[in-house]
Structure 1
Amino acid sequence: MSRADDIFVAMCRDIIENGTSNAGQRVRPHWEDGTPAYTIKRFGVCNRYDLREEFPAITLRRTALKSCMDEVLWIYQRKSSNIHDLHSHIWDEWADEDGSIGKAYGYQIGRKSSYPEGEFDQMDRVLYDLRNNPFSRRIMTNTYNFDDLSEMNLYPCAYNVVYNVTQATGDDRPTLNMLLVQRSQDVLAANNWNVCQYAILLMMVAQVSDMVPGELVHMISDAHIYDRHVDVVRELISRPTFPAPKVRLNPNVRDFYDFTTDDLVVEDYQHGPQVKDIPIAV
């Protein structure tokens, strides 16, 4: 059975059974009808996924893997913060009349900084360091720029990615690992979406760096289930599970900027029925 299902079910049970509620408190999110959107949460959740064992897609319901990849490419490859450059509609609620979500995500990744070797944006610097200094402990991206928060339509949730290379004795190639830090997460709507997104990003970066994709460690400061999601989550985690799907990339792509969603190959993805019309707090 999928290890990602086991992790997701355990996390949701822990939140529901041991979490704390903010019902009645002053909260920013609200439902479409204007009602405050309260949550039950756990602080400081840490989940580990080993891509050498399986791809971490849950099978309780389907995660749209090509859409996950498209959003990753939107941020880290196209470096865009305009929804007109994105093929899904998940960011529509936060876009202005021109389609912009402000100086968030892709905008931050595309900002250049000066180094002794020249000017690099954040993603280009990651790729440079993995080629030239792979065992550095300084390889990361960060989209939480305090100077620009006032010009972001939503503060970044998954904001910090740290890359770390290991190579055990006898390994033919180095292993690329990733630490993803997230300040806040709507567990029902976004958990496995984010996990699969960054698993795909790890796979892409590892491939073009001639490394093996290894562990994805996902740290969530505020992992929460919204009040209107609790019953949906209870039903979801009671479902049967299936083996993890087989997910791979086109091995011929050697440049990060050449990847498209057509290069993602998904096979044998068995899953339960989709959960439709999930209300989203904004």
Structure 2
Amino acid sequence: MKAYLDLLQDVYDNGVGKDDRTGTGTRSVFGRQLRCNLSEGFPLLTTKKVFLRGIIHELLWFVRGDTNIKYLVDNNVGIWNEWPFQNYLNAQDLGNLEKHSCEWEERLDAFVIRIQKDQDFAAKWGELGPVYGKQWRNFSGIDQLDWVINEIKQNPTSRRLIVSAWNPAEIEEMAKAGLPPCHTLFQFYVSHDNKLSCQLYQRSADLFLGVPFNIASYALLTMMVAQVCDLELGDFVHTYGDVHIYNNHENQVLEQLSRAPKSLPTMSINPNVKSLFDFTFEDFELLNYQPESAIKAPVAV
């Protein structure tokens, strides 16, 4: 994943100060691109350990069209917890509670436990609104994932193999419970030698925390689609709009840049799965992953 480290260095060296929605502040550049040949290995960072279990469960959550965090919470994946929790605090007139203070952490733990155990509470406070899964599976009545799979099979030379999470009619509703989609649109491409590639356009990219997840997630999605469409693997291309490093991630970025990448792992997928909608967590096995230790950093909410 030298390409990722090169991009990280580029933004660290050339990014300019820019205010942001979270109030954290960033180093930001506009318009970059990264490319991975998926036949060379699974593009999971080796210069820090990445939470693959969370990536897989989140992707399956998207594919099933789910928009409530309960599935993730039940599988011990907390990557989406802070957005609905903050909305819950706001409703309790506790919106100004200092983030990651002892009281904040205690209330978050209690919130997660209640999501697990109280169905009615989860239905109300675990809901993120019409975010990724909703748009992928029901964009104004269109199941985009089902459509694109059928189109790849029937019309592989099409230049319209696109799935969009950016639905202007529902952006404000998404923003109320979480945030509008950062990875907004992806397009598949079938080459003359039957290789499937995917290009993602990401309007806003948290380079240290979010982007490694996004790369692995869409690489895995491409592998899943290739399998069910009986295609070989091509490239994953990641195109960015505002790509940034948060100011409170700078020390972590420097530590990341001091490490040398290792050989990429490989991803084994159960070959018996023939429908995109039939995959389960147990259908994936990562092989030969030997990363450096994890590097923790706060999420900007």
TM score, norm. by length of structure 2? 0.82
Corresponding residue number in structure 2 for 1:32: none
Task: Give the one of 69, 81, 86 matched to 1:92.
Answer: 81
Q: How far has the Cα of 1:112 moved from its partner?
A: 5.5
88-97 or 51-60, which moves further after superposition?
88-97
Corresponding residue number in structure 2 for 1:11: 7
CA–CA distance in 2 between the matches of 1:251 and 1:94? 36
- The number of equivalent residue pairs is 257
RMSD across aligned positions (CA): 1.4
Task: Give the one of 20, 24, 28 matched to 1:37.
Answer: 24
CA–CA distance in 2 between the matches of 1:158 and 1:134? 24
Does the Cα contact within 8 Å between 1:179 and 1:216 map onto a contact in 2? yes
175-184 or 63-72, which moves further after superposition?
63-72
Letter of the structure 2 residue corresponding to residue 268 of structure 1: N
Deviation track 1:124-155 (CA, whole Å, cap 9, x = no partner) reads: 10111011111111111101101001110201
> What are the within-5 Å matches in structure 2 for residues 47-58 of structure 1?
47-58=34-45
Corresponding residue number in structure 1 for 2:224: 204
Whether 1:272 aligns to 2:292 is: yes
Task: Give the one of 176, 182, 185 matched to 1:160.
Answer: 185
Letter of the structure 2 residue corresponding to residue 28 of structure 1: R
Task: Give the one of 105, 119, 136 matched to 2:158.
Answer: 136
Corresponding residue number in structure 2 for 1:106: 133
Q: How far has the Cα of 1:252 moved from its partner?
A: 1.2
Secondary structure at the aligned position of 2:145 is classed as helix
Does the Cα contact within 8 Å between 2:65 and 2:133 map onto a contact in 1? yes
Letter of the structure 2 residue corresponding to residue 279 of structure 1: P
243-252 or 198-207, which moves further after superposition?
243-252
Q: How far has the Cα of 1:241 moved from its partner?
A: 2.5
Secondary structure at the aligned position of 1:55 is classed as coil
CA–CA distance in 2 between the matches of 1:130 and 1:241? 35
Deviation track 1:188-238 (CA, whole Å, cap 9, x = no partner) reads: 111111000000000000000000121000001011001110111001110
* Percent pairwise identity: 35
Does the Cα contact within 8 Å between 1:66 and 1:264 map onto a contact in 2? no
Gaps of 5+ in 2: 88-123
Letter of the structure 2 residue corresponding to residue 253 of structure 1: V
Corresponding residue number in structure 1 for 2:268: 248
Whether 1:73 aligns to 2:60 is: yes
Q: How far has the Cα of 1:123 moved from its partner?
A: 0.6
Q: Which has the higher helix share?
A: 2
Q: Which has the higher strand share?
A: 1
Gaps of 5+ in 1: 30-35, 115-119, 169-173
CA–CA distance in 1 between the matches of 2:51 and 2:269? 16
Secondary structure at the aligned position of 1:230 is classed as helix
Whether 1:21 aligns to 2:17 is: yes
Does the Cα contact within 8 Å between 1:176 and 1:215 map onto a contact in 2? yes
TM score, norm. by length of structure 1? 0.88
